[in-house]
Amino acid sequence: MESIGCIVCGNRKTTPYIEVLDRLSQNSETFQLVKCDCNFVFLNPRPTAGEISTYYNSTEYDPHNVKKNDKWGRLYKCVQKATLRWKFSKIASFYSNGKLLDIGGGNGEFTSFMALKGWDVVLQDNISNLNGINGSKGVRKVENLQMIKSTEHFNVITLWHSLEHIHNIEELFSNLNRMLTIDGILLIAVPNLKAPENTFYSTNWAPFDAPRHLYHFQLETLDNLMKKSNFKIVRKYSLFQDTPYNILLSMAKFTPFQFIKGIFVLCYSIIVTLLNGPDQSSSLLVICKKA
């Protein structure tokens, strides 16, 4: 385990925020989330980069479940197809084609989709994930960003729910600044700490996902991190499709009461997001450019 300072402002003085269990584990190990004076919430102490892999080795880890052919797996696939088209439309408003790097690309569905649309795509993820991905025409797989040549640049770089998993944020943004073209765009999607359903599920709120999720952003703190890293947010969006998924994962047990509560929380969350925009969405997407 290691203790760190705030990645947004550098402050090491924090106050306890909430203590949560590992939702995928049967043991009683707890993890402390802390809050900095700048409002940023993060896991501290946390497993080191060398220790964290053991917490991903669960068949119940959500990316491992999407291949299941049960009703939830089929529903997830339907939503995923619509989400891929939505993501593509956001990118297409800036570029019709070019080179794209997807960091932490998981099962490779997004990169395969973009390759079919004519993009030259690089997928970065750890070796265990990459070994489970079938090769797709137009997709190159790398284990780490150091495997990408210093002379190679990308029009688009995406992190779909990846930023909150990455230990070395300074190194990440150094690479992003190096690899992104001058007019390129950076897309970052993260769970939103100010999501309405967080209030209802408290320590059971799935996006806390300790210790895999190291950081917990809201629009304010994400904007501050972007500014510190020499990027500026040019567009922001609510990810409505994440709301029912996060609620489903947050249910302690799938009982009639939990189902009724889930429907209420879903309706409430959507209304709040429609009224307040990405600031209070379940997850948020920001599109950034170099400052």
Question: pLDDT (tens digit, 9 = 90+) per residue, 230-258?
Answer: 999 999 999 998 999 899 899 877 889 99
CB-based burial, 56-76: b 16+ in 10 Å, e otherwise: eeeeeebebeeeeeeeeeeeb
Instruction: Give the contacts of 230 (CB within 8 A, at least 6 positions apart).
Output: 173, 177, 290, 291
How big is the CA angle at 152 (ends 146 and 155), to the nearest 5 degrees? 115
Q: How many other CB atoms are found less than 10 A from the CB of residue 8?
A: 24
**Residue 133, in any domain of the structure:** yes
The C-alpha atoms of residue 197 and residue 224 are separated, in whole angstroms, by 24
Query: Residue 77 phi/psi, 5° resolution?
Result: -65, -40
Residue 197 within a domain: yes
275 occurs within a structural domain: yes
pLDDT of res. 64: 45
How many CB atoms are located within 10 Å of the residue 23 CB? 19
Residue 28 lies in a domain: no
Structure tokens at 5: 């300072």
Regions of the chain where pLDDT drops below 70: 59-73, 75, 127-137
**Is there a domain that residue 263 lies in?**
yes
Residue 121 counted as domain residue:
yes
Average pLDDT of the chain, as a whole number: 90
Domain membership flag for residue 278: yes
What's CA 32's distance to the chain center, in Å? 20
Residue 58 belongs to a domain:
no
For 41-93, write each residue's pLDDT tens digit: 999 999 999 999 889 887 666 654 555 556 666 767 777 889 999 999 999 99
pLDDT at residue 139, as a whole number: 87
Q: Reduce the DSSP state of residue 52 to 3 states and report it.
A: helix
Q: What is the total count of domains within the chain?
A: 1
Q: Which pair of tokens denotes residue 92?
A: 């297409």
- Looking up residue 258, the CATH number of its domain turns out to be 3.40.50.150
The whole domain housing 128 covers: 77-207+214-290
Query: Which pLDDT score, from 0 to 100, does residue 260 have?
Result: 93
